[in-house]
Amino acid sequence: MKKGMIISKPDFGTNRSSGDKKLGGRFKRPPKTLLVSISLMAPAVSIFLGFISIPVLAVLVTSLTKWTGFDVRNLDWIGLNNYIDLFNDKIFIRAFSHTIVFTLATTLLLNAVGLGLALLVNTKAFGTNFLKAVLFLPVLLSPVIVGLMWSGLLRGVGGGLNIFLEFMNIIDQPIFWLGNPKYALFAIIMATVWQFAGYNMLLYYAGLQSVPNSLLEAAELDRANGWNKFRHVILPALYHVMSVVFLLNIIGGLRIFDIVYVMTRGGPNRSTEVLATYMYEQGFQLNAMGVASAIAVIMILLAVFASVIRLRLLRHV
Amino acid sequence: MGSIVLNNLGKVYGEDTVAVHNVNLEIKDGEFVVFVGPSGCGKSTILRMIAGLEHISFGEVIINDEVMNNVPARDRDIAMVFQNYALYPQMTARQNIGFALEMRKLPREEIEKRVLETASTLNISELLDRKPKELSGGQRQRVAMGRAIIRNAEAYLLDEPLSNLDAKLRSQLREELSKLHARLGVTMIHVTHDQIEAMTLGQRVAVFSVGHLFQYDTPETLYKSPNSIFVAGFIGSPTMNFFEAVSTRKASELSISVGKRKIGIQNYQERFNINQDGKLLVGIRPEHINWGNHSLELEDGFLANVEFIENLEPESYVTAIFDDKEIKTLSSDDLEKFSKGTSETFSGTKDPVITFRVSSENLPQKNSSILISLPPEKLYLFNANTGQSYGKEIKW
Amino acid sequence: MNRKTRFVIVPFVLAAISFLLPQLALADSKLEYWTWNNEGDYVKVDDSAIARFEAANPGVKVEVTYVSYGDYMTKLKAALAANEPPDIFQVPWNSGFKDLAMSGKLEPMGSILSEGFPDINKSALSFVSLDGKAWALPLDLNTLQIAYNKNTFEELNLSVPKTNSDLIATAKSLKDADYFGIALGTKDKWAGGDTWFAQLVYTDPTGMKLAEADSGALGWDDKVFSEAASQVINLIENGVFAPGANSMGAFNESLDLFVSGKAAMFYPVGNFISGGIDAKVAGEFEWSLFPFPGGSGDEPTATGGIARMFSLPAGGDQNGLAADFLRMLTDKQGEEVLVKYNFIPSWPINVPASASDLYGNFTSAQLNARSRTIYTPPVYAALLDGIQAAFNGSTTGEQLAGSMDAAANN
C-alpha cells in the first residue's frame, strides 16, 4: 500500500458518451423490446383496470341512478340527484361530520401515541422488545374481535371499565358508554387507537432507525436538550414517514366500518354513524344502491383529496 | 480553550473486545494534534470518548485538569465536526451555524452577528440561506466547520472532516484548516487515516494501530526517527522498504548482510542501541535510495531489474526486483502483522522488491538492469521480533 | 408423438375429461336451495324434507347453500341481478321485502299455493302479499312476547302485568328490590322498533292503519302512530326498561342481564330464541312469557310475523320441482317435524297434548298476532332511529311519528 497516493484518473467523458448512446437507443428500440415491455406491463395494467378502474367507474355510473340492486333493467337515470339529496340528508351530514371527526381524532391520536411508543421502544431499555411485540398484537386482530372486546369492556353492567370506576369510587351508577351519544364516538375512537397504535409504532420505529446517529450527537454537543433533539433532529427525519403514516391513517379513518358496526351499529340514534355504515345501510338495508354508490364516490374523493394534500406538502420538503 | 490529558484511557466492547488499550497522551492548550492510523485503530473511538459520545471503559479523560468521565457530552464544552458533517437537513446554513448559540439562548442579534463573522471567516457568507442539500461537499464541510468554530469551546474535534472530499479540495481545505488554527489558536484534535494530512496539519501526531498508541510526536520526529516498524511503514509515501538482514558488530562498525552483500555502518553506536548480533530488519525510505546504470559501478550496489515505473511529475516511483533472490523483502501483509505489535514470522514478497523515488527527468528504462545503492547513514534498523526501532531517540 | 406435442395434448385432454365428467354425473337435475339457517333445529326440518323429496324424485338432488345472514341479501341480490337465481331461496321478512317482491324477480305464489298446500293463515298470507299477490310461502311464524323470571316474580309477589300501568308498577317493585325491569337491547335497532309495534296493537284497535300508511293511503303522522310512540316513551320514562338499552345488542348484553337474574324481564322473545334462553338459563330459574301489555281494558295481544319464508325465481324452469320440495315442508309429515321441534306452522294445527306450556303459549298467541313490519325502508329506518332517540330521552311521540312521515314523503 502506498499511503496518500490516491490519484484519480482523468475522466475524458467516457461515461457520458455511453449514457448518450443509451438515451438515443430509447427512441430506436426494436419492436421486439416493445413487445416485451408491453407484455411485462400487461399484468399490472390489467389488474389496475380490472380491479380498480372498472369497479370505480361502475360505482360512479351507479351513483347517477336510482336502483334497488335487483334488476339492472329497472335502473333509472337521475343525474346528480343522489348527491343533491345526500347534502340535504341530515343523517348523511351527521355521518360525514362523524367521519371527519373520527378521522382527524384517530389520525392525531394514533400518531401521537404511535410516535410516543416508538420513542419509548427505541430507547431499547429492558423490556421494550417485549413491549414492541405486545403493542403490535392488537393490529393482528380483526376489528370485529377488537370491537367485541371493547364492547365487553365498556358494557354498562358488568363491563370492566365500570367495575374499575366503581371500585375506585369514581362512579356509583354504571355509565352506558356505548349507549350514550356523548361517549359512543369517543369510545370507538379509543378502541381504534388501541388497535392501531402498534401499527404506527412499528412504522415510526422503523423510521427512527434511519435517524442519523451523528445528527443526534451533533445536537447533543450543540447542547440541545431532549425536546430540542426531538424537534430539530428526530421530527424532521421522520417527516416523510410521518406523511405516509398520516395518509394511511386518514384513508383508514375515512373508510372505518367494522369496529363501528360491531360496537354501536352507528347508533344510538346515528350518533356514531359514519360514511361506511351509512353506505352499507343505504345499499343493503334500504336497497338504495344509487345513494350508496354516491356515498362511495364521496369517500373516494375524500381519500384522493387527502393524498393530493400529502403530495403538495411533500413538494416543499 | 483547554488542555486535554488522556490517562490510561481504554475502551472495551462487550465482554473482552478491547478497542482502545491504555492510551496516555497530553494535548497542550492551543495545540493542533492529529490522530492518525488505519481504519479500526481506535482513533475515532478515542475522539468520541473525549467528546463524551462514547462511554469510557477505564482510565480518565481530563480537560483543563478536570476529570470528565461522568460529565455528559453537552456539558463538556467540546465542539466537533463529523465525517459526514451531520448538518441538520431542514435548516439553512445560517440556522445550522447558529444552532448551538440558539440552544445557549443567546440573544438573536448576537447570534446573527457571530454567524456572519464565522461565515466570513470561512468564506461562506453568500451560502447562508441555502439548505445542506443545495451545497457541494466542500461547502457543507465549511458549514460544519462554522457550526463548530462559532462556539468558544474548550477544544475542537474533527473526525475525518476531509475524507469525503475529492483530492484537490482536500488539499485546499487542509491549508485553510492550518491557517484557521493559526488564526484562532484553539485546541484542535483532527482524526484522519491519511498520513499526508497528519504530517501537514499536526503540530504533534499520534499514530494509532489496533487500539494502541504507537508514537506521539512532531511530524518530523515521526518521519526521521520512527519508534517502530509500524510507524516507519505508516509514515511516508511511498512506504519505506524493509529487508531481512543479519548484523555483526565489529568495533565501531556494524556489518549488515542483505542477501549476498554486506553494508557497513560506521560509528553505529552513535545512532543505534544495538548490543547483539543476528537477525534484524533494515528499512530505507524510497527517497534515500541511489541508483545508477549497470555500467556505472557503484560501491556496494545491488543489481536489480526495473519492473514498473509510476510516472508522476516531478518525481516518479520506480519499482525494481533484485537479481539476488536470497534477499527477503517485507510485504504489506508482514507490516500488517507488526501493526498489532509483534510478528513471529513473515512471509516476504514473492520476489525481492524495492521502490524508490527519482526525479522524473532522469528515469531508468523499464526492464533495464540497474544498480542500486543503500546509503548506510540512511538505514533504519528494527528488532525482527518486536518491530521496535534500534535507533536512538533523536528529537528533531 | 414427440415430447412437445404430448406436453400440449395431455393437459388438454385431462381438462376436457374433468370438465365433462361432472356434467355426465349430473345429467339428472338438481335443485339449488339457499338458506341462512345453518344451525339448530331448522337444519333438521330441512334435512327431513330433502330426504323425503329425493326419495320421491330419484335423480333430483337438492343442493343446499348456506349464506350467512349478514351477506345473504347482498349475495341474493347479485344472483337475481345476474339472472342466475337459486331454484328455491329463503327470503327475509323485513322492510326490504317490498323492494324484492316488486323487483319482478320473484314468481307469484298464488296458483302454486292453491295446489297441495295447507290453508295458510290469512294474517300470514297478508304479510307476504303485495299488490294482491303472494310472493312467498310463509313456513312458520313467531310471536314476540316478554319473558319474565318466575322465581323473582314469586319472590316479590308480583303477578303478570296486564296493562302498562301494571308494567310500570311491576318495574317499580323490581327496582325497589334492586332488579332491573325489561332487559332490551336497542343497539340492534329492530328490537327497539318492536316496542312500538307492541304499542300500536293497542293504539290502533282496527289493526288496519299500519298497512294503510305503508301503502301511502294514510299519513304516518296519524295519531295512532304518535300515540304508540308516546306510550313507549312513557314506559321508558317510568323506568320499565333496564338502563343502557342503546348500548346492548338484542340477544347478547341484554339477554345476559336476564339470564344472570339482574333483570327480571326480557324482550323480545319468540320461539326462535326460546331454546337459546333455556340453554343459557340452564335451570337456574323458571321463566315464562306474557304479551306486551297496553292500556287498561285492552286484551293483551302479542305481535308476530313470519319466521321463515321461501320464494321461487320468476319463470324459473324448475319451479314445478321446487314447489314439490316446498310441499314436503308443509305436508302432514312436514308439519309433524315442525311441531316436533317447537316451530309454529303458518297454518292451523292441533297442538299435541305432549307439547310444552311455552309451545302452547306461542301457538295461541299467534292466532291473533299483529304485524311488526313496515315495508317502506326509509320509514322503518326513521322509526328505529326515533326509538333509539327515545331511549336517549331526546324525542317525543309527535316528533317520532313526524320523522316517519317526513321519511315517507322524501
pLDDT digits 0-9 by tens, A26-40 = 555 666 788 888 889
pLDDT recorded at residue B237? 83
- What are the angstrom distances between the C-alpha of C380 and each of A60, A92, B67, C96, C308? 28, 17, 82, 10, 20
pLDDT tier at A11, thresholds 50, 70, 90: very low
Query: C143-304+375-409 belongs to which homologous superfamily?
Result: Periplasmic binding protein-like II (3.40.190.10)
Q: Give C27 to chain A, closest Cα distance, Å.
A: 30
Dihedral of the alpha carbons of A248, A253, A255, A257, in degrees to the nearest 10: 130
- Give the lowest-confidence range in B135-144, B231-240, B366-375, C348-357: C348-357
pLDDT tier at A14, thresholds 50, 70, 90: very low
Chain A CB contacts of B51 below 8 Å: 217, 221
Q: In the predicted model, is pLDDT for residue A7 greater than 70?
A: no
Q: In the predicted model, is pLDDT for residue B24 greater than 60?
A: yes
Chain B CB contacts of A212 below 8 Å: 84, 86
- The answer to whether A215 contacts B195, with C-beta atoms less than 8 Å apart, is no
Contact A263, C388 (CB under 8 A): no
What is the mean predicted confidence (pLDDT) over B224-241?
90
pLDDT recorded at residue B297? 57
Q: Which of A70, A178, A286 sits opposite C381 (nearest CB)?
A: A286
Taking the model in full, what pTM does it have?
A: 0.77
pLDDT recorded at residue A8? 43
Q: Which of B18, B331, B386, B47 is nearest to B214 (CA)?
A: B386
Long-range contacts of range B319-322, CB-CB < 8 Å, 24 or more positions apart? B319/B353, B319/B354, B319/B355, B320/B353, B320/B354, B320/B355, B320/B356, B320/B364, B320/B370, B320/B372, B321/B351, B321/B352, B321/B353, B321/B354, B322/B259, B322/B351, B322/B352, B322/B353, B322/B354, B322/B372
pLDDT tier at B295, thresholds 50, 70, 90: low
Chain B CB contacts of A214 below 8 Å: 82-84, 86
- The answer to whether B100 contacts A220, with C-beta atoms less than 8 Å apart, is no
Across chain B, the runs of DSSP E, i.e. the strands, are 4-13, 17-27, 32-36, 58-63, 66-67, 78-81, 155-159, 188-192, 204-209, 212-217, 241-250, 253-258, 261-266, 278-284, 290-293, 302-310, 315-322, 353-359, 369-373, 380-383
Q: Which CATH class is domain A81-314?
A: mainly alpha
Q: Which of B74, B317, B332 sits opposite A223 (nearest CB)?
A: B74
pLDDT recorded at residue A101? 96
Q: What is the pLDDT of residues C260-285, one digit of tens each?
A: 999 999 998 887 788 788 888 888 99
Q: Which of B90, B167, B239 sits opposite A1 (nearest CB)?
A: B239
pLDDT recorded at residue B92? 93
pLDDT tier at B6, thresholds 50, 70, 90: very high
pLDDT recorded at residue C349? 84
pLDDT recorded at residue C17? 55
The chains found to touch C (3+ Cβ pairs under 8 angstroms) are: A
Q: Residue A87, CB half-sphere, CA atoms under 13 Å: how many?
A: 5
Chain A CB contacts of C76 below 8 Å: none
pLDDT recorded at residue A263? 92
CA distance linking residue B85 with residue B102, whole number of Å: 19
Q: In the predicted model, is pLDDT for residue A20 greater than 50?
A: no
Domain coordinates in residue numbering, chain C: 28-142+306-366, 143-304+375-409
Nearest chain B residue to A6 by CA distance is B167
The chains found to touch B (3+ Cβ pairs under 8 angstroms) are: A
CA distance linking residue B237 with residue B315, whole number of Å: 12
Q: What is the mean pLDDT of chain A?
A: 85
Q: How far apart are the first and last CA of chain C?
A: 74
Chain B CB contacts of A236 below 8 Å: 88-90
Percent of chain A exceeding pLDDT 70 equals: 90
Nearest chain C residue to A70 by CA distance is C81
> Does A37 touch chain C if contact means CB atoms closer than 8 Å?
no
Q: What is the mean pLDDT of chain B?
A: 88
pLDDT recorded at residue C16? 57
Residues in chain C, total: 410
- The answer to whether C187 contacts A178, with C-beta atoms less than 8 Å apart, is yes
Q: Which of A70, A72, A157 sits opposite C262 (nearest CB)?
A: A157
What is the mean predicted confidence (pLDDT) over A52-60?
90
Of B163 and A292, the one with more pLDDT: A292
One-letter amino acid at C146 equals I
Long-range contacts of range B107-116, CB-CB < 8 Å, 24 or more positions apart? B114/B150, B115/B146, B115/B150
What is the mean predicted confidence (pLDDT) over A269-286?
90
Chain A CB contacts of C381 below 8 Å: 281, 285-286
pLDDT recorded at residue B341? 65
Q: What is the pLDDT of residues A169-196, one digit of tens each?
A: 888 888 888 888 889 999 999 999 999 9
Mutate to test the interface with A, among C103, C247, C255 (most CBs of A within 10 A): C247
Contact C185, C273 (CB under 8 A): no
Chain A CB contacts of C242 below 8 Å: 157
Residue with cell 360491531: A262
pLDDT recorded at residue C352? 81
Contact C382, C395 (CB under 8 A): no
Q: Which CATH number fits domain C28-142+306-366: 3.40.190.10, 3.40.50.150, 3.20.20.70, 3.40.1390.20?
A: 3.40.190.10
The H-assigned helical ranges of A142-267 are 143-153, 160-167, 184-209, 213-221, 226-229, 235-237, 239-254, 258-263
- The answer to whether A223 contacts B194, with C-beta atoms less than 8 Å apart, is no
Q: What is the ipTM of this complex?
A: 0.79
Q: Which of C81, C100, C243 sits opposite A176 (nearest CB)?
A: C243
- What are the angstrom distances between the C-alpha of C246 and each of A10, A95, A160, A265? 81, 18, 18, 10
Q: Which of A178, A184, A286 sits opposite C377 (nearest CB)?
A: A286
Contact A223, B100 (CB under 8 A): yes
- Give the lowest-confidence range in A270-274, B293-297, C386-390: B293-297
Q: In the predicted model, is pLDDT for residue A50 greater than 90?
A: no
Q: In the predicted model, is pLDDT for residue A17 greater than 50?
A: no
What is the mean predicted confidence (pLDDT) over A197-202?
93
Chain A CB contacts of B196 below 8 Å: 3-4
Q: How far apart are the first and last CA of chain B?
A: 28
Which stretches in chain C have pLDDT values below 50?
1, 22-27
The chains found to touch A (3+ Cβ pairs under 8 angstroms) are: B, C
pLDDT recorded at residue A225? 87
Q: In the predicted model, is pLDDT for residue B204 greater than 90?
A: yes
| C28-142+306-366 matches C143-304+375-409 in fold | yes
